[in-house]
Amino acid sequence: MKYTVFSSGSAGNCSLLKTNELNILIDAGISKKQIEECLSPLNMSLNDINYLLITHEHIDHIRAFSQLIKLPNLKVIISKGTLKWITDYAREHNKIKDLENISYKLQTNMITEVKRIDDTIMYPTININTLSISILPLFHDAREPIGFLFEEDNKKLCYITDTGYVHSDLMPLIYNCDAYVLESNHDPELLMASDRPYYTKLRIIGDHGHISNEDSMYLLSKSIGDKTNLVMHAHVSQECNLNILIENKRKEVFKQYNVDDKNIDFVILGLAPTKEYLIWK
């Protein structure tokens, strides 16, 4: 399993997961042209992508969605709520023509809709060849946002961004993953001192907003284990966060909870593409 992040943050989110058999894009929040430019150094094109996974309907996650679904062989995994939001929006804005492939794809089972049940946390699992993808229900100001847990031969990659918190029911599932891509969105002091409107600040720090540095590090301190070798701090706010604050908060919280991190590589993601990381062989 190899993993490359093309872009992470509120300007656009998109990353590529490669297994021996599959090429999977997680979110399409940058332009189609940018995705093509990121694929080209890997000797790949959009025609090589088998699956597109969408976390939720915010523009920094679906910018190229209507173009990518035109690809003939691409399958989509998206929650029912997110798909409904996208089709309702297209209908209201007279853009339904852009989505004409959706109905075709629905008929041909090329869209897998996932449905969470709010009170009991359910996480349906989708199996594709040797890879299993568990759908993680998240809490964000979107219709039905989701994260993903990828598993193959007892190895796990956890992908969670755009959530106010992570439900405690998910903690056993995401314990001791080989790698984490986890939101570390903002420093609350920088956020509150920024000139954003007050309601935006409240939205971001709320239960359906984004995870702060401290909450992210606490979550990691309770999740990482002896198998963990890579942590990617994701969806980092450009205005309300700094790399040094992320690193300092990580050191502080890990010290407080006695976390052994000497075998873990830490990467702070941004808008530039990363190298290709080998998550497991």
Which residue number, 182 or 259, has a Cβ lying nearer to Zn ion?
182
Select the residue whose beta carbon is closest to Zn ion and give its number: 58
For Zn ion, the binding residues in 98-127 under the rule CB under 5 A are none
CB of 108 to Zn ion, least distance (A): 29
On whether the CB atoms of residues 154 and 204 are closer than 8 A, the answer is no
Nearer to Zn ion, 152 or 187 (CB): 187
Given a contact cutoff of 8 angstroms between Cβ atoms, the answer to whether 155 and 176 are in contact is no
Site for Zn ion in 155-184 (CB under 5 A): 162
Q: How far is the CB of 184 from Zn ion (least distance, A)?
A: 13
Residue position matching structure tokens 């050191």? 251
User: Is there a contact between 227 and 177 (Cβ–Cβ < 8 Å)?
Assistant: yes
187 binds Zn ion (CB under 5 A): no
> From start to end of 129-184, where are the E strands?
131-137, 146-152, 155-160, 179-183
Spatial contact of 192 and 201, defined as CB atoms under 8 Å apart = yes
Pairing of strands 125-128, 131-137: antiparallel
Shortest separation between residue 161's beta carbon and Zn ion, angstroms: 6
State in angstroms the smallest separation of the CB of 57 from Zn ion: 8
For position 60 contacting Zn ion by CB under 5 A, the verdict is yes
Of residues 40 through 59, those in contact with Zn ion by CB under 5 A are 58
The smaller minimum CB distance to Zn ion, of residues 58 and 249, is found at: 58
* Pair 166, 215: CB distance under 8 Å: no
Q: Is 271 helix (H, G, I), strand (E, B) or coil?
A: coil
Q: Which residues bind Zn ion (CB under 5 A)?
A: 58, 60, 162
